[in-house]
Structures are given as structure tokens and as C-alpha cells.
Structure 1
Amino acid sequence: MSSANDHDANAGRTARLRAALAESPPLLWSFLYFFCLLSGYYVLRPVRDAMGASSDVEAVFPPEMVGFFAAHGIPLQELILQVLSTCSFILILVAQPIYGALVSRFPRRVFLPVLFGFFILCLLGFHLLFDSRVAGRGMAFFLWVTVFNVFSVAVFWSFMADVFSNVEARRYYGYIGAAGTIGAFTGPLLTRALAEKVGLANLMLVSAGFLAACVLCIWKLRQWAVVREREAGRDNESAMGGDVLAGLKLIAKEPLLRWLAAMVFLGVGVGQLLYNEQASIARAGFATAEARTAYYAGIDIAVNVLTLVVQLLLTRFLMSRYGLLAVLMIPMACLLVGFAVLTASPLPIVVGIVQVVTRSNEFSMMKPGRETIYTRVPREWRYKAGAAIDTAFFRGGEITFSWTYKALAAFGSQMVFGVGLLFASVMTLSAWRLLREEKKLPSERAHAPAGNGDGNGQAGAGARPAAGAG
């Protein structure tokens, strides 16, 4: 009887997906876009993490940098992640104004394809660097993936807010998110299968192929974004104007954006404590970059399997029935419990479990909820303030807590996770204040079709990189 009920439920979900694709033509292209984007990213992510967990400073850093640290008696081998995080933050501060200039001065049809074309050319260059085993390739790749990770996914969700209304977002972001989760599952599977067989250099070509497909999807989706903006009386094909620091100014001015930025900063922080501990475990347990890459791919697979299960069974039901309250506060409760357990018993296996649960909650619940907010705010908030949050605040949290981890680690893992529990509590307060500000936003008056509130549909959207692990 149970088997028959499961079959009926699966058939119902399939029927709803087909109906959604039939009533919303851009959904299929959005589905494909996010699948290819996260597949391409997750092919690269384990390689990046392996570089961060490496003990071979010559492979990671250029000779001049190694020589400089050695001349000053600084143990670079013990500070690899901290130095990489610091350089990442500096690079993001440089890249953010460039991104702001692009979205201020060029229409979407120009800067989106140009951005992805630039990423593809970079991947071809990294193929040559890894194939030739050039010294310092690890640092160059780690920093580049930071920029790619932040801007490509930030642009994706901003673009989706151009294509879909808030009501449509609540209905369709789940399908799009599930596509991203499948892509996030496919990428590390490819990496795990290929890393030790074809080498890291050829993984760059695999990722470049996925990004080329993203460019096609952008071109196809543009027509629906234009239609929606015209219906709303806006010209979304023109440049937005404004100065390159407009995003930071908006965050300083608007309470909702300030609490959102605080959540991102603290979320990255507590995630960074876990990430650094995981890197220490990987560094001690695996001798080669290929072996570490396979290990990180396995972690990503576990995260994305759990994410997909939650998306399919819970997220859309929670968002439809309870709104942002459930999808923000349930992960917060899990985070508090996880860090309390780690404070009492910081075993490696517990670190892995909490890391998987925390990252999957970020993908499957917290980000989907936050992304629906952007469908109800002006375009400048989406493209400028949203990007600033995902750059300055995201990487600011990463660098701050990466060095915080290094200082706390001297007192033991329990101290690390005890402080993490404190910051997780402050993050929970930030989430509560964000919910209060979100209620003040104007709601769209259009009504979703009947049956939208059932608990059997797809999940909420996957989203930008998980806190502390991007």
C-alpha cells in the first residue's frame, strides 16, 4: 500500500512539473541554466578546496611569495587558507567596483554574456597552467574561483528576479533550485570519477563546456525578461546608471539590507570555522591534490543528496504554508544544536556531519527564502546591493573568521566551536530582525493558481554559495 502511495505521489510531482513547464516556457531554460551553472562550478569546487588544503606551498603560491615569507620567518605552510582568504577578500574589493561599473553602464544583454565569456576564457587559461604544472597555479585558481563563484551565481538570481514575478518565484524557484541541486550533484560526481584519471587540467575544459551552455540559456531567457519589465512599465534593457558603490550605499541606508548583510557575514563566519577544521582534517589525511579533490567531491555529493531530499520533501511546503519564518528559523535551530554538540564533542566525524547538514540547509531552505525577497524590491537592490552583500560581506566574513579560527585553534577545537555557538546565536537574532523588515515590503497582489499551497510540489530554490564554503 505504501509503495502504491509513493508511486502516486511521484506521479503527481511529475504531472505538476509538466504543467509548470507548459504554462511557463522560460522555466525550462532557467532549469537548464542553473543546472549547467552549478555543474560547472561543482566540477571546479573540489579542485579549489584541494588547493586550500594542500601542504605543497610551491604548487599553491608563486616562488616570489614563498621566498618573501621564508625570508621573514613566517611559516607559510601553516597559513595557507588564511593567506588565500585574505587575498580573496582583496580581490573581491577590487572586482566589486568593476562589476558595479558593468551593471551601471551596460544593459543586461551586454554584461551577462561578456561575464560568462570572460569566465570561459579564464578556464582555458587554467587548463594550460595545470597541464604545465606552473608554480603558483593553486593560488591563482583559488582566487579566480572566488570571483566566479560570487558573481556568476549572484547574477543568476538577479536575472531570475527579472524573468519571474514574486508569485511565479514562489511557484517555480523550487523547480529551478532542484535543477541546481542536480547540477551540484553531477559536478562532483564527474570530478570524483575523473580527477585521478584525466588530471585536474582537463576538468577545466569540462567546466568550460557547461558555462558555454549557460550563455545560450541567457540569450533565450532575455526575451521573457524584456516582456515582464515592459508589462511592469520598466525598461530593463537599459543601463541602470548610478555609481559603482551604490550597492554599499543602499545597504547602509536600508534596514532590510543591513540585516540581510549581517546574516550573510555571520553565516559565512560560522561556516568558515567548520571549513577550516575540515581542511585540517583533509591535510592530515591525504597526501596528493587528486586524493584531496576526491575527498572534497565526496563531501559535496553528501551535501547535495541531502539538499535534494529536503528540496523535494519540505522546502516548498514550508515556504507555501509558513513563508520565510520556517525556512530561516529551522536552519538556525539546526545550526545552534550542531555547534552545541561540537562544543561538547568536537570529533572529526561530528565536524563532517554538521558541515553537511549546515551547508544543505543553506542551499535548500535559507537561500531560497532570502532570494524571494529580491523579487519584491527594485532592480538596483537586486543587482547592486545583492552583489555587494555577496562580495564585500561574504568575503569579509570569510577573511575575518579564517584568521579568527587560526587564533582560536591554539586553544583547541572546543574553544573554536564555543565561539561559533556565540556567533550562531547572534546570526539567529539577525534572522529574526530580517523577518520583521521583510513584512514591511509591499506584496504582489496577483494570486497563485489553485493548489499551489499543497505540500507535494517541488522545493524552494537552491542559491548562491553556502555560507563559509563558497
Structure 2
Amino acid sequence: MPQAPTTAGHFDHLRGALREFPPLLWSFLYFFFLLTGYYVLRPVRDAMGAANDPAAVFPLAMVDWFAARGIALGDYQLQVLFTGTFLSMLVLQPVYGALVARFPRRLFLPVVYLAFVACLVGFYFAFQAQLPGRGGLFFVWVAVFNLFAVSVFWSFMADIYTDPQARRLYGFIAAGGTLGGLLGPEITSRLVGQLGVGNMLLVSAAFLGLCLVCILKLGPWARARERQAGLAGGEEAMGGRVLEGLRRIATEPLLLAFALLMFFGVGVGTLLYNEQNAIVRAMTLGNPAAAEQATAFYSMLDKWVNWLVLVLQVLVTRAVLVRWGVAPLLLGPALLIVAGYCVLWATPLPMLVAIVQVGTRASEFALAKPARETIYTRVDREARYKAKAAIDTVVYRGGDLAFAWLHKPLATFGSSLVFGVGVLVAAGMTFGAWKLVREQAKLPPDSR
């Protein structure tokens, strides 16, 4: 029987990998800076979503328009925010598709990140001026930023590493993001009370600027890999139709399986998030320091998630990917989430909601996501950049939208019904994972 790998053995593997693959260090730093910047923003975003003052979240004219029709906008806060996020994704997906089709990688990658930095500077001035509606716009923007920036990161990694290399190295690269996920909430929880919310956005912008340095450093390695394999270079425009990614998802079983897993996987997270949000809103109702307290609570939750992710990445992810492939990392978390929802269905206690939320997010980031990303090393560049971006944005936020609105009527009957339906959603996620495992087994080996 094979012995369990030791922590020291994993660090030996890391040292050997750094000698064999110099771009690993820049990949690690890239993901570290990216997720540090994101997790500086995430607690601020979550606090906006849980705010009890609709005027801080939505424009005053919008609040008044709904109030004149007898609708309290605050009662539908998350549903409206998720709707806005999904509509933004629909608008931006063709824009991103055109950018990828018409410009080479050396141009469109920096442009994406420079646009994000410019937006953060704009939000800084909006928060400093206390502009009405800043919270809702910021909530939507952070969701868009997270999905596009992370999707582009992993697409770029698939240009650099082959499938066998990805199985060996993606756990280490993902650990860089986890360390960033630990540092980001720590920065926010320690500094938000002293600097204020607005200045945290400039801190995040600085980390995104460091991502640009890593992109420039990794460019030569991506070009070298493509030349070795005789592939069309990423420094050439990809061409093709702007909406080609969506067409391929509808017609190719592998990409459809990715989309199915993503849709139901988002569903289990959204139902949990909405229940957690209701708890936080009740906890901070009538408190003048509600925004700071909610931000600190979400920072603490993020830290617990990322510590668990780091342990799993160091001790489990690489060993399982190298030895058994993607199947255990896709099916195992799905089955655990089914079990977690069954527990919540029977006993919907607030503390259990937080525990299952931590376990769900940790298994996604540490196990399922690295497994999914290794599969993308075995498909063509159009699938990696166009179809993957559509799955990671439009399908993802479509799931958010559907389950955020589903949660509203379910919640009127109590948490038990929410989690009972969640069991069925988690079962759908498990089916998507099984389908993806079957379809990826039909792929030819990585030509590189």
C-alpha cells in the first residue's frame, strides 16, 4: 500500500519543480498577487451585499422608483445585485470575445488588467465622495473582475504547461493563490478601520499592477512552449467569431459537461451564500458600525477557507492528481457537498451553515478547480480562452441569477426547505462531475 506523502516530501517536490520549471515561480507570484488583490476587495463587496441601507447600495432614484410602487428594494437586494451581475456578463462576454479574437495575447492580457486598475481608481473616488449607488455597482464589478481575471489566469497557464506538468504543478500554483487569499483578508481586517473602505481599493490596485509584471515575465515561456509543439503562437490574434465560445459549449459534450458542473456547482454556493447573508443582516441590524463588523466577519470566514485550502493543496491535491488523475478531485467534493446539504436539511443551524460554507468553498478551490484546469491543457486555444471564459462568466453568473431568485420563495418556508432543495442541486453537481470525468477520458494526450 502506498504511504501517505509527507509535508517535507512535498517541499522537496517543490524545490525540484522550481529547478526544472523556472516559470513556476512567476506563475506562483502571479496568482498570489491576483488573489491578494481580490481578497482585499471581497470582504468589502460582501459587506455591501449585506448592508441594511438600500440607499448605500442602489441609486436614490432607483430606491424611490420601487418605493413608489410599494416594493422595498432592500428585501430583494441580493436578487437585484445578482441580476445586474448576470446582465453585465452578457454585455461583456462579446467584448471579451472580440478582444481575444482580434488582438494577440501580449496585448489583450495587459489591457484586461489595466482596465481593472482604472476601475478601482474610479471606485476609490466614488467611495471617498460617498456617492449613492456605489455599493451595488461595486458589488457587480467585483464579481465581474473575479471571474474574468481568474479565468484569464488559468487560460494563460494552459498555454505554458502541458497536461503532465499541470498535474505536477497546478497544486503549487494554486497554493500561491491561497496564500494571497490569506493575506488579502488579513490586510483588510487590520487596515479597513484605520484607512477606510476607499483606500483598500488602492491597495488592491497595487497588487494588480504586480500581476502585469508577472504576465510580462511569463510571455517568453508561453511562446517557447508553443514553438516546441508547432502550435499557432499566442502572440498572433486568434481570429474566429466573437461568440464562438457559446456555440462550442452548446455543441461539444466535454464543454457542455463543464457548463453543467459549473451551473449546479454555483447553485450550491449561492443557496449557502444567501442564507449566510440573511444571518449577517440580522446580526448587524440597527448597528451604526454594521459595514465594518460585516467586513470583519467575512474576512474571518475567508481566512478559515484559505487555511483549509492551503492544507489540502500541500497534502492532497498534487499527490492525487499525479497518482489517480482528476476523477477523485471532481467526484469527492461533489459527494461531500451532498452530505453537507443533507446535514443542513436535518439541522439548519447558523454555525453549521458557516461550517458547510467553509468546507464547500475549500473543496472547490483546493481540489475541484485545479482538477478542472488541468483538463483545459488538453484542448485547443479557442476552447481555453473563448469557451472557458463563457463558462466561467456567463454560465457561472447565470447559475447565480437562477438560484438567487429561487432562494427568495424557498426562504419564505424556512431554511429546511432551502437546504432540502439544495440536496437536489448538489446531486445535479455530482452528475455534472461524473459526466466531465467520462468526457475528459476521451481526450487525446496533450500534444506538447
Give the TM-score, by structure 2 length: 0.96
Pair 1:158-2:160 in alignment: no
CA contact under 8 A between 2:181 and 2:306: conserved in structure 1?
Answer: yes
Pair 1:355-2:357 in alignment: yes
Instruction: Tell me the SS of whatever aligns to 1:79.
Output: helix
Per the alignment, residue 80 of structure 2 pairs with 83
CA contact under 8 A between 1:343 and 1:417: conserved in structure 2?
Answer: yes
Aligned-pair RMSD on alpha carbons? 1.4
CA contact under 8 A between 1:163 and 1:228: conserved in structure 2?
Answer: yes
Per the alignment, residue 388 of structure 1 pairs with 390
CA distance in 2, matches of 1:403, 1:158: 31
Match of 2:67 among 67, 70, 77: 70
CA distance in 1, matches of 2:77, 2:415: 19
- Deviation of 1:16 after TM superposition, in Å, equals 2.5
Residues 15-54 of structure 1 deviation map (CA, whole Å, 9 limit, x = unaligned): 3322211111111110100000000000000100110011
Correspondences of 1:33-432 after superposition (within 5 Å): 33-234=30-231, 235-286=233-284, 287=287, 288-432=290-434
Instruction: Tell me the SS of whatever aligns to 1:380.
Output: helix
CA distance in 2, matches of 1:175, 1:391: 25
- Deviation of 1:133 after TM superposition, in Å, equals 1.1
- Deviation of 1:267 after TM superposition, in Å, equals 0.6
Residue type of the alignment partner of 1:388 = A
CA distance in 2, matches of 1:406, 1:261: 24
Residue type of the alignment partner of 1:167 = P
CA distance in 2, matches of 1:277, 1:440: 39
CA contact under 8 A between 2:7 and 2:315: conserved in structure 1?
Answer: no
CA contact under 8 A between 2:51 and 2:291: conserved in structure 1?
Answer: yes
Which stretch of the first structure deviates more once superposed, 328-337 or 315-324? 315-324
CA distance in 1, matches of 2:407, 2:19: 50
Residue type of the alignment partner of 1:186 = L
Residues 100-134 of structure 1 deviation map (CA, whole Å, 9 limit, x = unaligned): 00000000000111111111111111111111111
Instruction: Tell me the SS of whatever aligns to 2:348.
Output: coil
CA contact under 8 A between 1:36 and 1:213: conserved in structure 2?
Answer: yes
CA contact under 8 A between 1:41 and 1:187: conserved in structure 2?
Answer: yes
CA distance in 1, matches of 2:423, 2:316: 26
Residues 156-183 of structure 1 deviation map (CA, whole Å, 9 limit, x = unaligned): 0000000111111111111111111000
CA contact under 8 A between 2:58 and 2:135: conserved in structure 1?
Answer: yes
Residue type of the alignment partner of 2:158 = A
CA contact under 8 A between 1:268 and 1:397: conserved in structure 2?
Answer: yes
Gaps of 5+ in 1: 1-5, 447-470
Task: Give the share of equivalent positions with the same residue, in percent.
Answer: 56
- Deviation of 1:433 after TM superposition, in Å, equals 1.2
Residues 370-423 of structure 1 deviation map (CA, whole Å, 9 limit, x = unaligned): 001100000000000000001111000000000000010011100000001011
- Deviation of 1:435 after TM superposition, in Å, equals 0.8
Give the TM-score, by structure 1 length: 0.92
Instruction: Tell me the SS of whatever aligns to 1:244.
Output: coil
CA contact under 8 A between 1:196 and 1:291: conserved in structure 2?
Answer: no
Per the alignment, residue 459 of structure 1 pairs with none
CA distance in 1, matches of 2:177, 2:397: 23
CA distance in 2, matches of 1:375, 1:211: 25
Residue type of the alignment partner of 1:430 = G
Residues 300-349 of structure 1 deviation map (CA, whole Å, 9 limit, x = unaligned): 00100111111111111211222111101110111011000000000100
Residue type of the alignment partner of 2:145 = F
- Deviation of 1:445 after TM superposition, in Å, equals 7.2
CA distance in 2, matches of 1:322, 1:22: 25
Residue type of the alignment partner of 2:187 = L
Match of 1:17 among 14, 19, 24: 14
CA contact under 8 A between 2:94 and 2:242: conserved in structure 1?
Answer: yes
CA contact under 8 A between 2:49 and 2:139: conserved in structure 1?
Answer: yes
Residue type of the alignment partner of 2:254 = L
Residues 59-85 of structure 1 deviation map (CA, whole Å, 9 limit, x = unaligned): 100111111111111111111100000
Instruction: Tell me the SS of whatever aligns to 2:340.
Output: helix
